Amino acid sequence: MSDAAQSATPTTPAVTPTAAATFSTVAEGDLTLDDHEALAAMLARTFDSYDHWYAGARSWAGMQPELRVVARDGDVVLAHAGLRRQFVTVGDADVLVTAVGMVAVSPAAQGTGLGAELLRHVDAALERLGSRFGLLETGESVQGFYRRGGWVPLDDVTGGPVTGHYTAFSADGAGVLVSQDEGWLLREVGARAAEWPAGDIRWNGQMV
């Protein structure tokens, strides 16, 4: 295990000013084993009820991202988001989206503006990946954060509730289909939100 992961895992690191954060956007294939360990340690700290998933160097929960936005202070990971292009079925249409997930700011750095900065870097990464929409699902308690970052609830776009069907994350590898009736958020990239087709979303697999 890397020094960063060793020092970060047992306790939350001391509060670090946002100014100390250096952002980078990294292709999955360029991450080292130490990178994965440091990311997993930070994700386990932030999503503490899922920490058994982020064991060792497993730095993802469902679908493995293709691109990461990472903020670090030295070797310590302060913020992270994972992105992956995926076709999803919406109604009768196949739509290429960039799934965004594992959006996290290390607990000691939360509330300092780092999350907002992270979303700005995610926007740039969405542009780079070139799909027409960013898509994510989140709980009610965090929606305000994404709305401030320019994400729009799909319910508002379509004028009614949107259900998404996806295979749930599972630490032991078993996948069960989940139907989620709320919490879907869209980010315009190369298309207007109004171009989003009507109908249920079928991920046909796991989300990032």
Ligand X SMILES: CC(C)(COP(=O)(O)OP(=O)(O)OC[C@H]1O[C@@H](n2cnc3c(N)ncnc32)[C@H](O)[C@@H]1OP(=O)(O)O)[C@@H](O)C(=O)NCCC(=O)NCCS
Separation of CA 107 from chain center? 16
Q: Using CB under 6 A, which of 27, 93, 116, 191 touches ligand X?
A: 116
CB-closest chain residue to ligand X: 115
Give the burial class of 153: count Cβ atoms within 10 A of its Cβ; 0-12 exposed, 13-18 middle, 19 or more buried: middle
Q: Which residue stretch of 5-13, 37-45, 135-143, 170-178 sits at the interface with ligand X (rule: CB under 6 A)?
A: 135-143
Tokens of 35: 């990178």
Residues between 138 and 197 that touch ligand X (CB under 6 A): 138, 141-142, 144-145, 148
For the chain, how many residues are written?
208
Which residues sit opposite 23 in a β-bridge? 71
Provide the β-strand partners of residue 118.
Answer: none
Rank residues 50 and 199 by Cβ distance to ligand X and give the closer one.
Answer: 50
Binding mask 9-28 for ligand X (x = CB under 6 A): --------------------
- Tally DSSP H helices, then E strands, for the chain: 5, 10
Instruction: Identify whether the C-beta of residue 107 lies closer than 8 Å to the C-beta of residue 42.
Output: no
Identified binder of ligand X from the candidate list 38, 105, 126, 154, rule CB under 6 A: 105
Kindly tell me which of 36 and 80 has the beta carbon lying closer to ligand X.
Answer: 80
Among residue numbers 24 through 63, which ones bind ligand X (CB under 6 A)?
A: 46
Contacts to ligand X by CB under 6 A: 46, 103-105, 110-116, 138, 141-142, 144-145, 148
